[in-house]
Amino acid sequence: MERTRTPVVSGWFTGAEAGDGFRLLGTRCSACASVFFPREDAYCRNPHCPGGGELAEVPLSPRGRVWSYTDGRYRPPAPYVSDPDAPWEPYTLVAVELEAERMVVLGQAAPGVTPAGLAVGMEVEVVAGVLDEGAGTVTTTWWFRPVEGTR
Amino acid sequence: MSGDVAVLGVGMHPWGKWGRSFVEYGRAAARAALADAGLEWTDVQSVVGADTVRGGYPGYVAGATFARALGWQGARVTSVYAACASGAQAIGAARAQILAGLADVVLVVGADAAPKGFFAPAGGERPDDPDWLRFRILGATNPAYFGLYARRRMALHGDTAEDFALVKVKNSAAGAHNPYARYRKAVSAGEVAASAVVADPLRLLDICATSDGGAALVLCGMDFARARGVADPVRIRAVSTVTPTYPRTVLDLPDIATDSAVAVEPAAGSFRASIARAAYEEAGLGPEDLSLAEVYDLSTALELEWYEDIGLCGEGEGAKLLREGATALGGRVPVNASGGLASFGEAVPAQAIAQVCELTWQLRGTAGARQVPGARAGITANQGLFGHGSAVVAVR
Ligand SMILES: [Zn+2]
C-alpha cells in the first residue's frame, strides 16, 4: 500500500523526499533583509524595519556548525508521537548555527547520530527525515547529520 | 528612595507533592503573609494573583480565585500571566498600584499544583503555538534546552559535569535548612553522578522537579508601614520585567530557532543579562552591593550562567566562582540560600514570589541556619517562557 508522505508542518522545508536539494524554508523581508525561521508570513519582526516590505520565501543554508547538542533519554509527552508499547529509543537534538543567516536552528539528528559523535563547531548538513509513521502515513521532517559521514 | 515599597508580610505553603488544589496552597500562603504583617484580610485593598495554566486557560488561577477563597470583601483585583515570571509581574503590578496611590496595602499571591514529570503543552492540534510545535516536531522538553546550555558551557568555558553537580551539592545543603523546601536532604556529588542522564550531559539531580507550592507577600507604602510602627521594613527597590531586544541570538525556550542577526547587529550581552541590568539601574545599585541572590536554577548548569548574567563574575567564570565557594552559604555572595529550585522544585507562578520571601527573611535576619550575616541587599532573577524577564531588588 502506498503511504502518504506529509510534512509535519507545511511550508517549512522543500519536498519531503530524500535526495539532493532538501532545504529548510524561511522568509526574508524585502525592506530590511531580516530572515525568519520558522517562516513569518504576516509581518516583519524587526523593530527597526523601515516597513512596506514583502516577506518572500527563501531556502536556508544547507550546512551550518553545531552550536550545541543534547539528547532525550526519556519519552517526551504528547504531542510528540511515539509508540508507548515500544521501548524508548533516545534521539539526539542539534542546534545549528547558520553563518549566512546568522541564526541558530534546532532539529533532530539523523538516526545513529549520538552526542558522542558530535562536537560544538562541527559542520553538519540538513537532510530529509521521517518523524513518525502511522498506518498509511509518513510524517516528514528535517534532520541534521555530520558532513563527510564521520559517524 | 521614592520608588520603594515595604514588604510588610511574607508567607509560604511548603513545597511538595501534596495532591491538593492550588487554591488551598495560595490561601494558606496568603493567610501566613497576613499574619506576618499583622493585618486582617479585610484590611487589604487590592489583591494581585499570579496565574497558572489550567486546562489550557491561563486565567483559571487568578486573583479573584484567591480572593474568593479568602472570602469576598470587595478588594481591587488583578491577575497576571507571564509563565515563570508571573510572580514578578504580580509584584510589579502591586508596586505600581501602591506608588500610584491606588492602594495602600496589596496582597500578592502565587500558587500551583504542578503536573508530574515533564511540563507539556495544552492538548489539541495547535501549530500556531511555539510551545506545541517544539514538542510535536522535536520532542524538545524543557530539560532538552537545559542540556543544550550545559553542553555549550562545557565547550566554551570548560565547565564539567562535576561543576554542575557541585551546584546541586551547594543548594541541597542550604535547602536542608529551609522548612518550606520540598527536599531537605543534603545531596553528595556522587549521588548526582549516580542519577540517570535525562538530557546529555544533565542528570536527574541536575534538573529541578515539578512541585506544588504557594507564596504570598503583603506589600504597602512606606507611610503605611511607618504608621503601623514598622520603621525599617524590607523594601522593594526595583522590579524588572523586561522583554528581549531584537535580534535575540541565544536559542531559548520554547523556540525552534533564534532571530537572524543579518539585518540588525545584536546588542551586547544576553537577554538574561539585560533582566538584571534593568533591575540594577532602577535600584541604583550594582552586583558589588549584593549580600545574596536568588536565581532560577532550573538546572545546575543554568545557575552558573546566572552568576555571569547578574554580574557576580565575568562571562565563563561561573564555575570558578562556584569552586571558590563564593556562592555557598558562608561565601562572599551566597546564591540560592533558600535551596533554590533544586530544593523546592517548580511551582511556576509561586516561585518568583518565593524568591522575594527568601530575600525578606534574609534581610530581616530571621533566616535561621541559612542566614547570610548582615544581609543588606539582594536580587532575584528569573525568566518566563515567551520572553518575560523577571528580577526584583530588595534592600534593608
Ligand atoms: Zn523588515
Tell me the ipTM for this assembly: 0.95
Three cell numbers, residue B293: 541572590
Residues 216 to 275 of B: which have CB under 8 A from any A CB? 246-247, 249, 251, 255-264
Distances (CA, A) of B43 to A90, B37, B83, B95, B216: 55, 11, 29, 17, 16
pLDDT band per the 50, 70, 90 thresholds, residue A151: very low
Q: Where are the beta strands (DSSP E) in B88-211?
A: 105-113, 197-199, 202-203
Pick from A136, A100, A141, A97: which is nearest to A120 by CA? A97
pLDDT score, position B388: 95
pLDDT score, position B121: 83
Q: Suggest the residue from B260, B264, B270 to mutate for an interface test with chain A (most A CBs closer than 10 A).
A: B260
Residues of A in contact with B200 (CB under 8 A): 69-71, 73, 115
> Do A76 and B140 make contact, defined as CB atoms within 8 angstroms?
yes
Distance of alpha carbon B167 from alpha carbon B169, whole angstroms: 5
pLDDT band per the 50, 70, 90 thresholds, residue A16: low
Distance of alpha carbon B34 from alpha carbon B41, whole angstroms: 7
> Do A120 and B152 make contact, defined as CB atoms within 8 angstroms?
yes
With 0.90 as the threshold, say if the pTM is over it: yes
| Better pLDDT: B91 or B123 | B91
Q: Any chain A CB within 8 A of the CB of B140?
A: yes
Distance of alpha carbon B7 from alpha carbon B230, whole angstroms: 10
In the predicted model, is pLDDT for residue B269 greater than 80?
Answer: yes
pLDDT score, position A117: 97
In the predicted model, is pLDDT for residue B214 greater than 60?
Answer: yes
Number of H helices, E strands in chain B: 13, 13
Task: Look at chain A and count its residues.
Answer: 151
Cell 538546572 found at: B299
Three cell numbers, residue B124: 489539541
In the predicted model, is pLDDT for residue B91 greater than 60?
Answer: yes
Could you write out the DSSP letters of every residue in B246-309?
SSP-S--TT-SBPPP-SSSPPPSS-HHHHHHHHHHHHHT--GGG-SEEEE--SBHHHHHHHHHH
Q: Judge contact between A70 and B199, C-beta under 8 A.
A: yes
